[in-house]
Amino acid sequence: MPYPIAELAYGLRRRLAELATKPERYQLQIAAGNPSICPPKLQAGQEFPKSLALRCYQTFNGSYPIESDEPTFSDNNSVLCCSNWLTLSYASVHHLEPETFNHVLVRPKNLGLCLCEDSDSFYKALSELTCASSTLIEYSFYISTPNLKALSIYFPNLTSITVVAQSLPETWMADLLGFRQLTYVYLHDLIQHLIVVQCDDLIAFLKAYRPGFQMSWHTTGDENLLQRLKNDLSKRLPHLSEDEFEDKYGSHEKTTNIIIGDVVFYLP
């Protein structure tokens, strides 16, 4: 049960406001529903209207600068709130130091990662920075194997995942099952892993999720490997073209399915 902070003595509330960072002070105001929670000065805040895109670098002298097209990102006078989209490019754990975001309240619903560090420590730091608030992630790793297991540990609230990569860990299905709230998975350019996917394992994977789960698998790789998997699935699952499936099931909220190429295989 939340503690009624607004009922604290004035002196305690004032001291709490002095000890809190700017984002913490702003959150206290929001939680209390009354600016008097943080006397004697109201903490101003402003919302990024759509998204916050940050490009991260490492210099030869060991610094880790961050650039943004949003001019207010460098404004330290007020709290900047990011609650919609946060996109990080080339970020490492060094870019996620609390001091860097001491004026930014980062609680994005949607998270984009492009060529970022893929370590457990990176996802732990990112989860702490964002309070694991994201329910959607777009995940681009063209030259590395994505760390899906760490992502499932530190971002358990994800319902939608898009992965663009050249390779997946051999345990990718088991790793994805760590996301118990998933309703949608999109995989792209992963044809080399289709050859080791067993039809029974893929069907069991689909059945493990709630009715209505959707997985989409697209590739620009070897069509022969793709066709082999489609042939195996066609013997086990009913299937339609995307247009036919849409006509028959509409939004398919209750029909678990996987789209491979232009064919939709679905659980009966």
Domain assignments of the chain as residue spans, ordered by start:
1-43, 50-147+154-166, 183-268
Residue 14 and residue 37 in contact, taking contact as beta carbons nearer than 8 Å: no
Q: What is the predicted pLDDT for the residue at 1? A: 39
pLDDT the model gives residue 192? 58
SS3 243: helix
Structure tokens at 171: 């345990």
* Region for 33 from its dihedrals, namely left if φ exceeds 0, alpha if ψ lies in -120 to 50, beta otherwise: left
pTM, two decimal places: 0.85
What is residue 13's predicted lDDT score, i.e. its pLDDT? 81
Residue 163 to residue 252: CA distance in whole angstroms: 22
Q: What is the pLDDT of residue 191?
A: 55
* Ordered per-residue pLDDT tens for the chain, 268 residues: 356 777 788 888 888 888 888 888 888 887 777 777 777 777 778 887 778 899 999 888 888 888 887 766 666 667 888 999 999 999 999 999 888 888 888 999 999 999 999 999 999 999 999 999 999 999 887 677 789 999 999 999 999 999 988 777 888 899 999 998 999 999 887 555 555 678 899 999 999 999 999 999 887 766 777 788 889 999 999 999 988 998 888 765 688 999 988 899 999 8
3-state class (DSSP) for residue 221:
coil
Given a contact cutoff of 8 angstroms between Cβ atoms, the answer to whether 129 and 106 are in contact is: yes
* Among candidate residues 171, 216, 226, 170, the one with its CA nearest the CA of residue 194: 226
Residue 27's pLDDT is 81
Query: Which amino acid, one-letter code, is at 154?
Result: Y
Strands 239-241 and 214-218: unpaired
256 and 213 Cβ atoms separated by less than 8 Å: yes
For residues 27 and 37, what is the distance between their CA atoms, to the nearest angstrom? 10
Which residues is 239 bridged to in the sheet?
265
Neighbours of 262 (CB within 10 A): 10
Q: Output the six-digit token pair for 55.
A: 């490009």
